[in-house]
Amino acid sequence: QVSVSAADLRASSDGPRLRQLLFGDAFLVLERQEGFAFGQSQKDGYCGYISEDQLGVEQAVTHWVASPASHIYKTPKVQAPEVLSLSMGARLAVLSQGEKFFETPQGFVPKHHLRVLGNWHPDPVAVAQIFLGTPYLWGGNTRSGLDCSGLVQAALLACGMACPSDSDLQQSLGKSLADKAPLKRGDLLFWKGHVAMAINADVIIHANAASMSVVVENAKTAPTRILAAGGGPILARRRIL
């Protein structure tokens, strides 16, 4: 189980970051070598290498971080030193609750930042919009940095919807949408190596390297811009809601 704010999942022990796992995420260790554990993320099946010192003893998680971010505090006071930063989707084992804080094995977390597992957000588009302005980060899955597929995965997981990590795998979600069918809220648009989510028929939201952040764009002009920049045409459109 991940014991740090975010752990990089790598293609090899010295390879590039593929994705990030969040605090409390379950990780099935298949092999250990030279300070790294090779295994599989249990939330999406993604395989890779994680530094062994970023894994801890498995705990029965009960709650998840439903706000964009939070902190674990040393004591149940707002003035207390923070022990660890958390991003949306992190999972914790709540031991008890006070007036304003939940107690966990690591410290105390504000109650209004957590929800019981199973109490999900209702709208993935609204979740995606929470991340507006978040910096672009290749393989990122946190409030500190996201890439295009990380944004989509964060939005869907926060709504209790299964979602793979990479955009090519996300193309299997939902059902195919005809090229000329008007976009609806939550529809996904796919390019080679890129994905965006429709806010409505006219606006999309995505994390992209052109702006280096999560932004909204016009649904008609964005494909033109991406094509002109060498990103190719839209390859697929999927309806997931």
Ramachandran angles phi, psi of 150, nearest 5°: -65, -35
Residues of the chain with pLDDT under 70: none
Q: According to the model, what pLDDT value does residue 7 have?
A: 98
Whole-structure pTM value: 0.96
Joined together, the tokens standing for residue 128 give 């995606």
Helix ranges restricted to H, the chain: 124-130, 148-157, 167-170, 221-228
Tell me how far apart the alpha carbons of residues 228 and 208 are, in angstroms, rounded to a whole number.
Answer: 15
Class of domain 63-116: mainly beta
Q: According to the model, what pLDDT value does residue 183 have?
A: 98
Kindly report, residue by residue over 138-173, the tens digit of the pLDDT: 999 999 999 999 999 999 999 999 999 999 999 999
Q: According to the model, what pLDDT value does residue 171 have?
A: 98
Identical fold between 6-54 and 63-116: yes
DSSP β-ladder status, 101-104 and 36-41: unpaired
Q: According to the model, what pLDDT value does residue 134 have?
A: 98
Q: Under DSSP, is residue 105 helix (H, G, I), strand (E, B) or coil?
A: coil
Joined together, the tokens standing for residue 205 give 């939201």
Q: Under DSSP, is residue 239 helix (H, G, I), strand (E, B) or coil?
A: strand
Q: According to the model, what pLDDT value does residue 180 have?
A: 87
DSSP β-ladder status, 6-10 and 17-22: antiparallel
Q: According to the model, what pLDDT value does residue 70 have?
A: 98
Tell me how far apart the alpha carbons of residues 225 and 66 are, in angstroms, rounded to a whole number.
Answer: 34
**228: CB partners within 8 A, 6+ apart:** none
Q: What is the dihedral sign for C-alpha 118, 122, 126, 128?
A: positive
**Structural domain boundaries of the chain?**
6-54, 63-116, 124-239
Q: According to the model, what pLDDT value does residue 179 have?
A: 87
- Say if domain 6-54 classifies as CATH 2.30.30.40: yes
Fold of the 124-239 domain: endopeptidase fold (from Nostoc punctiforme) (3.90.1720)
CB contact at 8 A, 85 and 69: yes
